[in-house]
Every structure is written in structure tokens, then in C-alpha cells.
Structure 1
Amino acid sequence: MDFSGWVNQSITWVGQYPELLAITIFLVSFLESLVIIGIFIPGVVLLFGLAALCGGGALSLESTLFAAFLGAVAGDGLSFYVGRRYSTQTQSIWPLTRYPELIIQSERFFKQHGGKSVVIGRFVGPLRCFLPLAVGALGMPPSRFIAFNVASAIAWAPWYILPGFLVGAAIDIETPLPQHFYPVLGSLLLIIVLTAGLFTQLHWHLRPSGSFYRWISNRFETSGFAHRLWDNLYSLRNGEREYPISSALLFTGGVFGFAFVTLLTLYLPSVQQLNLTVAGVLTDIHIPLLDMIFVGLTLLGNPGFLYLFFGWFVTLLVVRQRFHLAFLCILGGLSAHALTSFLKAVLQIQRPDSPGIPDSFAYPSGHTSGAILVYGLITAFIARERLPHHRWGIYVTGGIWVLLIACSRLYLQVHWLSDIVGGTLLGLTLCGLIRTLQSPYDRQPVWTDKWIAVFGFGAAILVISYLLLTFPAAIARFQLFSG
């Protein structure tokens, strides 16, 4: 029996006992988060399979996410209690004595990252089930831990549940699985994992104390012209210089990557075949809750909203009298819009034939390039105020956000996969260029906690107001809920 047949039979049986399925998801999430036991629980695989059963109709998405959320909160909560209860004895009582390295690493991780370690640690391999123990042993107040625990579980549950749920939704009893579904899904996941791994490694080696950063700096030091140019490009915090090596490499790599993908899109027929295959797979995958989520996400990538959102950010830069930084942000936004419009007009690649599509051409995706530029620059500004080894969590959060906006264009079938890839590379190119140009004007703290709070408050008002005004019309335009 193939996988889809097994899922269909399982859905038929489990559909009679949805409470049992919810309890099972809770237990897997609970055990996966529990100290020591979590090491031996293949949580990713088990939750993927269980979520696939739910996606076939055995359990609603809301109930599935809630069960996983509760299990994760309970597992981390019990681990925290064990750490708080035994405190200084955590490395001297069995069976914790068998894992001294993981306990030491978790304590070090908490001392480096503070409360954020509870959120970050849930996604960090073997440490995920030991961090709550270490946090409890080192004396974090329970109320503070609960806040971080709940926040991390809210982010964790969709990350683990949605992939399997979408697969289950595709394997409907009455609807055959789209052709090439698994190769396409596997390829997309592989691309995401490899890209995330590449950026993680680059970020690690390009921090000021990283080997690659030092190697490039030494090369520039030995070149006369390059040294004079380079010596004026540093930004400054607490007397420490930081050169925009990662931004310059992002710009350079983005230029070559965008040119390469554009040539493939224009002259390689298999790219169009891949586009059609991905579109065909997504045609039958529509879940009411996901429809609403992705319509909302795509609205937050609309040019009109991005102008408002970025305008608020730039206004605060002007209030802070950071005029050069504000001007370069405006230049970046206008350049993204102009370049995208120009390339669409020149390349003239048609969009998919779907409801609600704009009249413009497809390649590259303006939503994606604009979102990456706007949210990418904001993310970079906020991350710059943190120590280098504390920034990656901020970049990961920003990266996931723009990835979801890009995926919304695929899900709603208003862009091809190649449009999204091209838009991503164009946005990263411009983001790298603008951050490189901004570096010599970024020598005093810009975004203290106070100003981040002011920006966040205004941003929340903009998001809520824009969605309230535009969401009903967007739902009707995409024709997702008829019947």
C-alpha cells in the first residue's frame, strides 16, 4: 500500500475518534519537550504524520495547533519545574548525570541570550528539552518563564504542524493526490533548508570575530585603494568598528544570483515545467483558515501598505535626525519599485491564469522584492543594536516573515515559483546595497528599546487598520470562499 492509501485508511478510522488524535498530538508534543525524554522522541516525524491525519479531515487545524501548543507548554513547564526544584543538584542526580554536557551548554546558552533563549532554544536540536531545566535551575522567575514559554509555543506549533497538515489536506479521500506532489514538496523543503543553512553559516563566519570576516578584512588592509575605500565604510557601536562585509557580499551574490535565475527563467524550458508542476500541486490545496492567513499575508506585502509601513519607519529616522539613513531607505524603496516595474515591462513573462491576479507581468515578484527590502532593512536596523552573536534570532524571525509573504503569492497562484525566487534575489540585492551605503552613517545607536516600542505601536495600528479596510475586498477578489 502506498503512503496516500495508508493515510486515507487511517483518516477513515481516526475520524471516528478525533479526541484520541488530539490527545496523541498533545502527548507527542509534551514528551518531545520533556527533559531527557525529548532526546529520544522523533517529534518532527511523529507530528508530521499525525498532522497529515488531521489535515485529511480527522481534526480541524485550530484543534491540531491547540493540542500541539498545549503539549509543548506543558513539557517545557515540567522541565522548568524539575530545574527549579533540584536547582544545584541537576548535574548530580540520576538520570541527569548522564547528560552533563547538554546541561552545561544549556546554561551557557541561557547566560548568553537571557529570556530569549527559551524562545530560540525550542528550535535548537538537543538543547530544546534541556533549556527549560537550565532556566529553572538558574532562577528565572516562573511568571517570566511562562511568558517566554507561551510565546515560543505559539511560534513552534505552526512550524511543526502546518507541513503535515497541508499534506493531509492534499491526500483527500475523494481527491487524488496531485501528480509530482512529493517531489515538489521535497524539493521546496530542501531548498528552504539549504538556504537557511547557508545563511546561518555565512552569518556565523561573517560576524566580526568570524574567520571569513577577518580574512576579508586582512585582504582589504593590504590593498591601497581598497583600504582607503574600506576605511570609510565602517559603522560604530561602543567604540567598536564593524565593516559591512556581509551586506556587500549579499549585494554581490544577489546580483549574480538574480542574473543567473533570470537567464534560466528565460531560456530553460524545464523552469517553466517546474512552475506548472508547482502550480498544479497547489491548485487543489485550499483550506479556509489558510486561505484567510495567506490573503492577510499577501496584503501586508502590497505596495500601498509597504509605503505606509516603511514611511512610518523613515519618519522615525527623521525624528531621530538620521537624515542620511532616511534618504537611503527612501532611495532603496523607490529603486525596488522602479526596477521591478522596468524588469516586468522588458521581460514580459505572463502570470498564472488565476482569480484576482493583477494586470502587470509576473517576473520578478514585486511583492516579494518589496517585502524583502522593507522588512529586511527594518530587521537589519534592529539587529544592528545587538551584539553580533545575539542577532541571528532577529534575522531568523525576519526571514520567516518574508518567506511567508512570498509563499502567499504561490498559494494564491498569482505568481510562478521562478517569480518568487527572482523577487527574493532582487530584494536581497537591494537590501545588501542599501545597508552597505548606510554603514558610514550608522555610528550612533538608532533603535533603542524605547524607539523600537514606539515603532512597534505605530506598526501594529497600521497593520490592524489596513487589514480591516482591505481584507473583505481581498477575499472576494481571490474568490476563495464561494460555496
Structure 2
Amino acid sequence: MHALLDYIALHPTGALLAVFLVAFAESIVLVGTLVPAGVAMFAAGALIGAGALDLWVTLGIAALGAIGGDGLSYEAGRRWNTQIRAWGPLARRTALLERGEQFVRDHGGKSILFARFIAPVRAIVPFLAGTASMPRLRFYLVNIGSALVWSPTHILPGVLFGASLQVARAVSGRIAALLLLIVALAWFVAWLARLAARGGAPVLRNWRDALLRWASRSPASCARLRRYVRAVIDPSRPDSRTLLFWILVLGGGSLMFLLTARGAVTAHWFTGIDMSVLNRLQALRTWPADQAMVAITEMGGVRMRVLVVATMALWFLLRGCRRTMRYWLALALATEATIRALGLLIDRPAPLGLPAGLEHVSFPSGHATSSIILYGFLAYLLGRNAGPYARATLAACATAGVVLIGVSRLYLGAYWLSDVVAGWSIGLVWLALAVILYTRRKVREDIHPRALAGTLAVVLVAGIAWVFTTRSASDLALYTPPLRVQAITQDQWTDAAWRKLPAYRLELRAHRDERFLLQWADSASDVERALQGEGWLPAPAWSVRSALTWLLPSTDVRDLPVLPRYDQGSNAALTYIRPDRDGHGRMVLRLWRSDYVLVAPGRPREIPVWYGAFYDERFAQPGHLFLLGLTRNLQDPAQVPPLLPPGLRLLPRPGPRADVLLALPAQNP
């Protein structure tokens, strides 16, 4: 990725030409429907955020391309209207032309502006404006204005994403990879939902018609089954589509659970998948991501489940929705009973050996099972009488929460992938059963969905804040592998043990990112005292106020907090800065604490051994909107001694590619 960004920064003409051509082709009649302009503009914005392209130049090039594409389509429509309409590919798309003509008739000159942002008509409206002989002055005024709005609308989100990804990558490649994984997963779920919505409805109708034909021709011995089929899927009956959908979910969930349970217990290939997913997610762990995942996982924990179930039951009781309350409590009890029963039946150890107990039943995942049942049923109740957009929003929110809870359990090593999939499967079964019974019994109680949604949001936010503030330390300790500190002598360190300390900053597995050229044995206070004599300053602490200074291009480099960096998921324990004389950059020293301490007979004090690296940090200003730190790791050992205090005792040791400097303690341990 860095090589690609460096190449584009050195040769921006090609990237800008691609931006122009995409923006230009998007508005060409018929061709524009095949051009992924939104994706291309977002990618261009990401390159801007990464510092490879200039913001204002890219915005201008994209706007010029859009103006030229619309202008060409308009002029072609004015001059070659008949010939283009008779062109084979366009002649076969009369529906597209009719839609565009109606759009122009409805909106007039504003259609040029609207078409920029509406995919089905964006490539045809400028052409039709030309065929309708719209005045040139009117057209080009709207054309230029709409292009100036369209360009930043499509590019600026990419700028923010590229900058955040660059910052995440600068902080930790693991965080960047985890961010990309979550974005890709969200995109996949959204794509799958759209695919199911578009292709699933015709399939459901065909299956329904086939079942109804079978019911009309079935023998008399199947009269009871025939009546049941008609009662459930007859389109003339209310809620028939809902019942048919959830019956299919019930069947699909049951089949998926059986396959997952069999694969998890007997199939070696499924075990291999479990191990692969666990190892890859463990390789992405960092301390801030651990905190975020612990907060997310609490949404599906026992304490949050009890809080949500009790609060919603009280809400239904106070609103007089007693039948809904009984369904809700029965579903919650069935959920917990299923989790415990299957956990006892399939006694499976957790991946990281978490202690057995109420929260640590491995198969199926209690978090995955309960989250899909409880939050899914609440989403169904809230969207039952809502419009399509509200139902889609509720479904998306519930799905995102369920998926994030499952991913958090995998990330923290609490469950195997098969545990989570099995939890989702059995959860779908119980959710489908509850919805089918609730619908068949025709429960029509008014649950006051808007007020209920607000109450649920308050309960979730307050509950997560309460649980996280009271349990975060213990939960983080539960999911964090213990560290082992080894005591050695100074001679053992200088002779051989120094080779066992990390030589590179490790981010993703088997990825050597930056060299560690310094190992320093001394207490933290002695290290700070020695560095301050050479102009080094402790890095500013992170806070809301200090973080906002990154948004001010005029901020002094002394006031900017240093972006954290992680080695094998751990942040640097000591961070110092030394500003350059010109004020445009600074040197950064990051020190990580190793697993070794130096000891000596008769001396009770243990001296920690640190390892670290120097970074030359320069600052860019993309579009003069914010600061972006560009960091270079020092690779030459000869550059290190001038940066350290002159009285420090340095002992060079030959490394595989460069020398490593050992800074001996001020007093022998």
C-alpha cells in the first residue's frame, strides 16, 4: 500500500486523468450506467486523505470531467437526437428513455442537478435536455453548479476515510486491518440483504404459488395439511408473506444449526476453519481494540440481557401489552434454557481456556444466540406496522449489532467460529418460532414503537456505560493472556538475552515493519531525567482538547499528541519528543517495556529493560484542512548516538542487518 501511495504521489497525472475520465464517462448517454463513478471518486478521496493527491486539484478535475460529460451528452442530444435514439443498444432501452423524459418534464432545469445523484437517470437526463432544446445558458449554468456540488459530495467522504485509514495505519496496521475487515463485513451484509430483497421476493412468490397448486390438487388424506398451507401462505390472507418468510427462516436456521453442530463435533475441516479464524483475529489484537470489543461484547452479556429483558417486560406491563409481555418473557426463558442445555450436552472448551460458568458456555455462543433473539424480536415489534424504509433501517441496526457482538466474541477469543454460527442458527430458529406464533395468534397490541425505541436506546447506552465502567478492568484482564517477566543479570542481557528482544515492530503476522535499534536498561524516572537534559520532552497526553489540535494546521508541534504505535498489540510505555529548530517537524522516541528485568545479588531493586525506535515526523496539510503526520523510522544505527545523552554508556551489538545499541543502566544492578 505504501509503495502504491508513493508511486501515485510521484506520478499524480495518471490518477488525475483516471478521475477526469470516470467523471466524464459517467454522464455519457448509456455508457454512464456502466461506470462506477461513486466508487472511483471515493477511492480518489482516499488517496487525498493518504497524502498522495492534492485535494483542490482533484476536486477541480472531477468537476471538469462531470461538466464535460454532461455537456457532450447535451450537445449530442441537440444535434443527433434521431440517430442516437435509433442506435441499437439505446433503441432496446425505451423504458430508460421514457423514465428520463418523465424526469425532465417533472423537474425541468433542476433535473440536471438531481440527475447527478440519481443513478438510474444520471446518464440519460443531459441527453434528453438536449433533445428537448433546453436553452444553452440555462443548461450550462445548472451543469456547472451541479458539478461543483457533486464533486466534493462524492470525494470528501473518501478523504475522511483515507485520512482515518492513514492515521489508523500510522497508529497500528492491526487497527487498520480490523477497520477494513469491519467495513468489508458491513458491505457484504448490506450486499447480501439487497440481493435477498431483489431476488428473494420472486423466489418466494414462485414457491408460494407451487405450494398453493399442490394444496389444490392434494388428496383428501392431506386435508388438514392442505388447510394449514392455505391458512399460512394464501396471499388473500393477512400476514401471509410474513409467515412464509419466517417459515423459510425457521427451516434455514434449523439446517444451518445441524450442519454446524455436526461439523464442530466431528469434522476436522471445520476445526481447521475455527483455528484459522481464531489465529488471524488474535493477530489483530491491540489494546484500544480490546477495549472497544469488550464494550461491544457487553451488549450480549448476561448483565445486559437481564437488564434489557426486565426493562422491556416492565414497559409492556405498564403499557397494558400483557400478551406481548408473556411472549417476551417466554422467549427470554427459552433462550437461556437452550443455551444452558446445549452447553451441558456439548461440553466444549473455550479457545482461550476461559473459566467455566454462567457466561462461558462455549457451544453455542450465548452472546450470539441471545442477541439475535432478543434484538431481532424487538426489531420485529418496532417495525411490524412501520413503512418499508423504517423496517429496513431497524433490520440493518439489529443485524449490525448482532454481527458486531459475534465478531467481538471471536476477536476476544471467547468462542470458536462454529460456536458463533451455531448461536446465530439456533437464535434464528427461536426468533422465527416466536414471530410465527405472534403473527398467527394475531396479537395487535399497541406497544408505542417510537417511545419503545427511545427507551431501548437509553437502556442500551446507560447499561453499556454502567457495565463497562464497573467491569472493564476485570473483563480486560479476563480476555488478556498473562505476561511472564523473566529476571536476568546484566551480563546475561549483554551476552545473549538482548537477541531475544524484538528486533522489529511487529504488526500483522510475519510483517517486519520497523527496526528497533535501541535497548535501554534503567528505571522510567532515570530514563526521563537523562533525556530531558538533551531537550527531549514527554509527549503531550491525549485528551479531547489535545486531539482537536490535529484539526488546526497552525498548531505548534510541541502541543500535538503523539499517535500511539503498537508492537504485538502493546502500546509504547514511554514516549518523548524533540522538536526541530524550524518548527516543521520533530523527532519521536518510543520505548516498549520488555519481559526482562535486571537483578543482582544483594540488590532488591529490579531494573526494567526497554526497547524502542526513533521516528522522524513531518507534517502535511491535505487541503489546508487538518494536519497529517508522516513518519519515517530511523534505520541507520549511526544516527542514534547523537540523539541520546552524551554521558550514557552505550554498548553496540551486531545485529543481523544493523547494530543494536544497548544503553547500560546508570548504576549496575
* Same fold at TM > 0.5: yes
1:101 has 2:100 as partner? no
1:469 has 2:466 as partner? yes
Shift of 1:349: 1.4
Counterparts in 2 of 1:287 and 1:469: CA distance versus 1, 3 Å: same
CA RMSD of aligned residues (A): 6.0
Residue identity opposite 2:462 in structure 1: S
Deviations 1:448-478 (A, max 9, x none): xxx2221122112212211221223554322
Residue identity opposite 2:476 in structure 1: F
Residue identity opposite 1:327 in structure 2: R
What is the distance in 1 between the residues matched to 2:101 and 2:341? 50
* Equivalence for 1:140: none
Gaps of 5+ in 1: 1-6, 60-67, 69-73, 83-88, 112-121, 134-145
Counterparts in 2 of 1:305 and 1:327: CA distance versus 1, 3 Å: same
Shift of 1:319: 4.4
Shift of 1:290: 4.3
1:478 has 2:472 as partner? no
CA contact (8 A) 2:297 2:408 kept: yes
What is the distance in 2 between the residues matched to 1:49 and 1:269? 44
1:455 has 2:457 as partner? no
What is the distance in 2 between the residues matched to 1:271 and 1:53? 42
Deviations 1:82-104 (A, max 9, x none): 9xxxxxx99x9568999983994
What is the distance in 1 between the residues matched to 2:300 and 2:102? 39
Q: Which runs of structure 2 are paired with 1:42-191 in the superposition (5 Å)?
A: 44=39, 93=74, 101=96, 104=99, 126-127=119-120
* Equivalence for 2:249: 250
Counterparts in 2 of 1:466 and 1:394: CA distance versus 1, 3 Å: closer
What is the distance in 1 between the residues matched to 2:437 and 2:209? 21
Deviations 1:121-145 (A, max 9, x none): x9x9x55979xx9xxxxxxxxxxxx
Secondary structure at the aligned position of 1:362 is classed as coil
Residue identity opposite 2:453 in structure 1: G
Counterparts in 2 of 1:47 and 1:342: CA distance versus 1, 3 Å: farther
What is the distance in 1 between the residues matched to 2:167 and 2:347? 36
1:212 has 2:207 as partner? yes
CA contact (8 A) 2:304 2:463 kept: yes
What is the distance in 1 between the residues matched to 2:443 and 2:412? 42
Deviations 1:222-250 (A, max 9, x none): 55212443566689999776561111121
What is the distance in 1 between the residues matched to 2:246 and 2:401? 20
Q: Which runs of structure 2 are paired with 1:26-45 in the superposition (5 Å)?
A: 36=27, 40-41=35-36, 44=39
Counterparts in 2 of 1:10 and 1:243: CA distance versus 1, 3 Å: closer
Q: Which runs of structure 2 are paired with 1:340-355 in the superposition (5 Å)?
A: 340-353=339-352
What is the distance in 1 between the residues matched to 2:460 and 2:98? 41
Residue identity opposite 1:283 in structure 2: Q
* Equivalence for 2:379: 379
* Equivalence for 1:298: 297
What is the distance in 1 between the residues matched to 2:476 and 2:439? 42
What is the distance in 1 between the residues matched to 2:319 and 2:236? 17
Residue identity opposite 2:454 in structure 1: F
CA contact (8 A) 2:233 2:243 kept: yes
> In the alignment, which of 3, 6, 11 is matched to residue 9 of structure 1?
3
* Equivalence for 1:423: 423
Secondary structure at the aligned position of 1:244 is classed as helix
Counterparts in 2 of 1:195 and 1:161: CA distance versus 1, 3 Å: farther
What is the distance in 1 between the residues matched to 2:121 and 2:336? 41
What is the distance in 2 between the residues matched to 1:433 and 1:254? 11
- The structure, 1 or 2, with the larger RCO (C-alpha pairs under 8 Å, 6+ apart) is 1
Counterparts in 2 of 1:321 and 1:423: CA distance versus 1, 3 Å: same
What is the distance in 1 between the residues matched to 2:338 and 2:428? 13
What is the distance in 1 between the residues matched to 2:414 and 2:43? 28
Counterparts in 2 of 1:101 and 1:169: CA distance versus 1, 3 Å: farther
CA contact (8 A) 1:247 1:436 kept: yes
Q: Which runs of structure 2 are paired with 1:14-29 in the superposition (5 Å)?
A: none
1:409 has 2:406 as partner? no
What is the distance in 1 between the residues matched to 2:233 and 2:249? 16
Larger Rg: 2
Counterparts in 2 of 1:283 and 1:242: CA distance versus 1, 3 Å: closer
CA contact (8 A) 1:364 1:423 kept: yes
CA contact (8 A) 2:231 2:237 kept: no
* Equivalence for 2:361: 361
Shift of 1:436: 1.0
What is the distance in 1 between the residues matched to 2:464 and 2:271? 34
Shift of 1:347: 0.9
Residue identity opposite 1:366 in structure 2: G
What is the distance in 1 between the residues matched to 2:312 and 2:213? 36
Shift of 1:415: 1.4
* Equivalence for 2:261: 262
What is the distance in 2 between the residues matched to 1:252 and 1:337? 21
CA contact (8 A) 1:265 1:418 kept: yes
Residue identity opposite 1:435 in structure 2: V
Deviations 1:387-436 (A, max 9, x none): 67984454344323311221121222221111111111111111111111
Shift of 1:293: 3.7
CA contact (8 A) 1:324 1:441 kept: no
CA contact (8 A) 1:8 1:171 kept: no
* Equivalence for 1:433: 433
Residue identity opposite 1:324 in structure 2: R
Q: Higher helix proportion, which one?
A: 1
Shift of 1:45: 7.5
CA contact (8 A) 2:304 2:464 kept: no
CA contact (8 A) 1:368 1:424 kept: yes
Shift of 1:366: 0.8
CA contact (8 A) 1:39 1:129 kept: no
Counterparts in 2 of 1:206 and 1:338: CA distance versus 1, 3 Å: farther
Shift of 1:48: 7.2
Deviations 1:178-221 (A, max 9, x none): 9xxx9x99x989985886467435752477xx333343344456
What is the distance in 1 between the residues matched to 2:413 and 2:97? 45
CA contact (8 A) 1:350 1:362 kept: yes
Residue identity opposite 2:228 in structure 1: L
Secondary structure at the aligned position of 1:348 is classed as coil
* Equivalence for 1:338: 337
